Amino acid sequence: MRITLIPLMLLLAAACVPALCGREEQPVPQPEAPAETRSRFAALDDVRLLANGLLQLGQSLREFVQKTKGQINDIFQKLNIFDRSFYQLSVMASEIKEEEEELKKTTVVLKANNEEIKGLSVEISSKVESMLQEKGHLQNKLEGLEEKLSSLSHGLMTSDKVAEINSLREVIQTQEQSITELLKAVREQSDQLNHQRAKIKNLEEKVNITNTLTQETVEKMQEIFSSEVPTLTPYLTSSSTSTNLPSDCNELYNRGARVSGIYAIRPNGAVPFMAFCDMSKDHGATVIQRRKDGSVNFDQTWEKYENGFGDFQGEFWLGLWKIHSLAAQGNSILHIQLEDWKQGRRFIEYKFHLNGPESNYTIHLTHLSGDLPDPMGNHTGMMFSTKDRDNDKHPDSNCAHNYTGGWWFNACGDANLNGRYFFMRAKGRSERRRGIQHQCNPISRVNVSNVYFANHGYVENGHFFTLQF
């Protein structure tokens, strides 16, 4: 701008020269000088000021994003705490209900005993009254005999009379002894009846307390659901965020995430859900199962296995419909890693696909590699089975019910990673087959396994044990 001002000032000076030389000319009205031409470029100071402002705005936005991420992680942690609390409350409520049922059964039995004791008491009372009446008759006879005896005191008594009197005395003594024993039995029955009544009253008080605790637990759970529970619904269903969600943990890894934890994913544009992502390898892996300490019972119903259960921070099953949505993306490799009692690890890999609910989540496996024999070769093409939905090929038995835990049973097969968690080696063969097992070569059986999808999914079971026969 300063450079353009110099020629303008020189022109103005040249125009004024005639006046300075003394010419007297009629002043001619001159048009006003045009306004200063503005440059098309901003000043360097303005550019620097604008750049500093943009940098500060970017820093503020970055801090805001970091703060928002921290708040979302806090919400996830609170949700996990709530899930654990809800599960514990559910277990407590179930135990309370079982105790209440036992107390009710005991109360019914005690009431029946009470009625029986009342009947016996009435029967004994009637017998005592009849014996008292008989005693009165005998006393009257004795008095009559004594009168006869006194009237005959001046003469000799025959032996028959003496024997009759003695026999009557013995009968009276026997009756008095029986009456005494009956009265004692009546007192004992009365004490027992009072004890039973006190016990019934105590049980009724316990039942009332149990009902109160159950009601308070239900009300507390309802209160938690209605007010205190942080919800992820806006985050998972918002059109501005759910469309941005990764299809799985591997895509999240490719976006730059490297911290293992709980994230929201949306496979193939399906309904978004939360999943645990393992970022410890050179790819992201979506955890669909974890077994590590036996804290969760995997002997669950079809509904539980379809929707998922457990705790993301501990043991859990992600859910069949979620696993199906992950596997439907294709190019999924199932990696199974086994660990024996001496922490020796071996693995096997399959190409993996899972059908939907219309075929009861039929599994398809193709062996790829590994240092284990193929223990799930006869499980491919099998439908998923639970204790309340038998889809196995065994005609006379329900494998899921007998061996506990939902799985893709054949009849019944050599693998069940959802079986019972044993803290020590089971002794019997039949008991071992009810636990987490994976038939290996030579004759060994694995109690826990470690399985994951190399591309689109992940199954992690924590520590595993081999049972030797």
Which class for 444: exposed (0-12), middle (13-18), buried (19 or more C-beta within 10 A)? Answer: middle
Q: Is the pTM higher than 0.95? A: no
Query: How many Cβ atoms are within 10 Å of 250's Cβ, its own excluded?
Result: 24
Rounded Cα–Cα distance for residues 217 and 352 (Å) = 43
For domain 249-455, the CATH class is alpha beta
Q: For tokens 């199962």, name the residue.
A: 289
Which pLDDT does position 307 carry in this prediction?
95
Cβ partners under 8 Å of residue 145, min gap 6: 164, 165, 168
Tokens representing 231 are 């919800």
How many angstroms separate the Cα of 321 from the Cα of each of 41, 270, 327, 407, 437?
61, 10, 10, 14, 24
3-state secondary structure of 319: coil
- Please state, in angstroms and rounded to a whole number, the distance separating the CA atoms of residues 323 and 335: 15
The domain limits of the chain are 165-215, 249-455
Q: Two tokens at 154?
A: 């001046």
Q: Distance between CA atoms of 457 and 327, rounded to whole angstroms?
A: 7
Listed residue (410, 353, 417) closest to 377, CA to CA:
410
pLDDT at 111: 83
Cα 353 vs. chain centroid, distance in angstroms?
A: 27
What crossing angle do the helices spanning 44-151 and 159-223 adopt, rounded to 10°? 170
Residue-level pLDDT at 257: 93
Question: With 0-12 CB in 10 A as exposed, 13-18 as middle and 19+ as buried, what is 120?
Answer: middle
CA distance 374 to 147: 109
3-state DSSP: the chain helix, strand, coil percent, rounded to 5?
A: 50, 15, 35
Name which of 237, 189, 384, 228 is nearest 301 in CA terms: 384
Contact 456, 332 (CB under 8 A): yes
Instruction: Quote the Cα angle for 173-176-182, to 5°.
Output: 145
Strand partners, 263: 275
Q: Which residue has the tokens 């936005």?
A: 61
Chain position carrying tokens 């596997």: 327
Taking phi over 0 as left and psi of -120 to 50 as alpha, with beta for the rest, 313 belongs to alpha
pLDDT digits (tens, 9 = 90+) for 173-213: 888 888 888 888 888 888 888 888 888 888 877 777 766 66
**Residue 469 to residue 324: CA distance in whole angstroms:** 36
Q: How many helices (H) and strands (E) does the chain have?
A: 11, 15
Q: Which residues contact 172 (CB under 8 A, 6 or more apart)?
A: 135, 138, 139, 142
Phi/psi of residue 399, each to 5°?
Answer: -60, -40
- Residues of the chain falling short of pLDDT 70: 1-40, 42, 149-158, 210-243, 340-341, 423-469
Q: What distance in Å separates the CA atoms of residue 164 and residue 288, rounded to the nearest whole number?
A: 97
Q: Give the per-residue SS3 of 227-239.
A: HHCCCCHHHHHCH
pLDDT tens for each residue of 392-449: 988 888 898 888 889 999 888 778 888 887 766 555 555 555 556 555 433 334 445 5
- CB neighbours of residue 448 within 10 Å: 25
